[in-house]
Amino acid sequence: MSALVIIGGSDAGISAALRAKEVDPSADVKILLANNFPNYSICGLPFYLSGEVSDWRTLAHRTVEEIEKQGVHLLFSHTATKVDPESKTVTDLDATGKTHTTKFDKLIIATGAVSVRPSFAGILLPGVFFLRWMDDGFSIHRYMIEHHPESAIILGSGYIGMEMADALTRRGLSVTVLARSGRLLKTLGQEMGYLIDNELLRHGVRIVKGIAVTSIEKTGKNLAIRNSQHIPIEGDMVLVATGARPETSIGTGTGILTGLQGAIRVNRAMETNIQDIYAAGDCVETWHHFTKKYTYLPLGTTAHKQGRVAGENAVGGHAEFAGSLGTQVVKIFDLVMARTGLLENEASEAGFDPVSIDHEAWDHKTYYPGATPLRIRITGDRRTHQLLGAQIAGCYGAEVSKRIDLFATAIFNEMTVDSLSHLDLSYTPPLSSPWDPVQMASQAWIKALGR
């Protein structure tokens, strides 16, 4: 019986464990969890904090009983502190401070990422929060229940910042978003950015761009954001959502190599440079399916896939991670924004000759009630017509995610923009048109090139 130890019980860790047991039911699989929340949807925390999800327990992808029923041993509140590749042991501390040593034949590091903590003063003041793990969510929820804040300041304009601007507004708070750069949600193209601004402003969210925070200070009952522009900004609570970095401290001193942004280097079998040690999830570099290069791209969907590959290979399989396209979607109030593949500037950097067009089409036939416009941006290569990337903006309920997934599938399979018109897509008037908006946009791209 082989002993597989997994450090971390979020998306990648649980996915690895379950796949390992599928491939080799006799494997002894143990997961060391630093907390008590295995396989919880961290992406669901903003919706719990908004009140849209009433019970945090429903955020579990699987219950503890469902995981343990598969033969996986969960060790709760066991924080791994050291890995010794030579003796093949992991040392950890439990909740009481007691030290344990666990032997392994194969090891998977799935420690995820941690919130980036700015170095300015005041980051540890009461009322200042991060949002990465379940305990973070509980702390915010408890603070809102006990202190009844009326206003909140969000530092950062990425996915968490945007979703929490929505969530806290729904809770009745007055929200201010501070963006260090000149635009929001930079993972989307600049051409779509104004839609996010408009949606936030429409719901009363204040936006302050190009601001450099120098400190957070307590001023009476409020928290004040000191900044280089000397703009007065005060609120009852502050959420710091300035990004995430890979959590790789467990590899210190082991000889495990790190690369981009300090993430663990792995091959497509999810193997590190140390024999019998694998890694997966937000703590590793990610193979980009389209550019054929490694990048740092922490996404829950990617973590599940990488974990599955690592788990299979750790018990004797021969799986390979196919790579990510960075497919993402976010809901901000009534607006849904999505992307896949490369933005135009990314395509240029990758050596393509990109051409992008914007096209607007109704999400379904207008004679059926409720039709709303979709804005679609397609990027393709001028010479080969290869589809390089796509972005979509639309109303909640307009099947934006279905259509970005269609683009993602086409890019993954190296289709041309022209070939999208040949796809046999479903149609009924309440949901689409005989030519789906994706196909209409592809035809507009071809027309723009004079074809």
Q: What is the pLDDT of residues 301-333, one digit of tens each?
A: 999 999 999 999 999 999 999 999 999 999 999
Share of the chain above pLDDT 70, in %: 100
> Mind listing the pLDDT tens digit for each residue in 41-61?
999 999 999 999 999 999 999
Q: Tell whether the model's pLDDT for residue 392 goes beyond 90.
A: yes
The string of DSSP codes covering 94-125 is -TTS-EEEEE-SEEEE---EEE----SBTTTS
* Burial bucket for residue 108 (CB in 10 Å: 0-12, 13-18, 19+): buried
Domains along the chain with CATH numbers: 3-114+245-314 (3.50.50.60), 128-242 (3.50.50.60), 334-448 (3.30.390.30)
Share of the chain above pLDDT 90, in %: 91
Q: Tell whether the model's pLDDT for residue 445 goes beyond 80.
A: yes
The string of DSSP codes covering 118-158 is --SBTTTSTTEE--SSHHHHHHHHHHHHHH--SEEEEE--S
Q: What confidence score (pLDDT) does residue 396 get?
A: 94
77 φ, ψ (degrees, to nearest 5): 55, 40
Identity of the amino acid at 212:
A
> Mind listing the pLDDT tens digit for each residue in 217-267?
999 889 999 998 888 999 999 999 998 999 999 998 899 999 999 999 999
Q: Mean of the pLDDT values across residues 328-357?
A: 96
Q: Tell whether the model's pLDDT for residue 390 goes beyond 90.
A: yes
CA atoms of 288 and 14, how far apart (whole Å): 23
- 68 and 26 Cβ atoms separated by less than 8 Å: no
Q: Tell whether the model's pLDDT for residue 78 goes beyond 80.
A: yes
CA atoms of 115 and 137, how far apart (whole Å): 13
Q: What is the pTM of this model?
A: 0.94
